[in-house]
Amino acid sequence: AAIISRENAKTSPSGSFAAFSAWHLLTKSSLLRAVTMSCALVAIQQFGGVSLAMHNDDEIPSTGSLPLGENTRLAYVITLMLGILVCSRMIDLTGRKPCMMASLVGMCVANVTMVIAGFFADDLTQNILSGAVVVFAFSFGVGMAATPLLISAESFPQHARATAISVVSTVHWT
């Protein structure tokens, strides 16, 4: 208990836990800035296309989704895990910003490749689509998979962290 108390004292003023209200996330400028930045990061993460790349729903016609085989889906999962492992090592060596920027660039290149390849319908295009999905998975894992929530958790003082992360998680899953 003493260790926790000492750690909390480093980031939160004395008595701040009892005095904190959820409204402080909107009324205190430093907390509002952190909430806005964190919500923007998770929104970018969600709109980056991770659901589109592997969406498998019978309600969507086959012309509206990527025609991927089971091998591509397996490669997607394995490559995503490899990207996350690379991120867990590189984030300490290079920092959060380079990992996020590399991730966003790779995701953009893969998404543009998927869009362009989607206009053609031959065997080579199917291989290009599969390759772009795998590149997307690795790029997503390198930065955008876990980094937005990590940055969010680090952006808030201890006394506001639980409430702020619940707001960010609500945006993330909405």
User: pLDDT tens, 25-60?
Assistant: 888 888 889 899 999 988 888 887 666 555 555 544
Rounded mean pLDDT, 123-151: 86
pLDDT at 24 over 60: yes
Predicted confidence band of residue 142 (pLDDT cuts 50, 70, 90): very high
Residue linked to tokens 């012309």? 63
The top-scoring range by mean pLDDT among 65-74, 96-105, 110-119, 121-130 is: 96-105
The overall longest dimension of the chain from CA atoms, in Å, is 66
pLDDT at 163 over 70: yes
Give the whole-number percent of the chain exceeding pLDDT 70: 77
Which pLDDT does position 61 carry in this prediction?
45
Environment class of residue 106 by beta-carbon count within 10 Å: exposed (0-12), middle (13-18) or buried (19+)? buried
Instruction: Give whole-number Cα distances, 1 to 6, 10, 14, 108, 151, in Å.
Output: 9, 15, 15, 47, 26
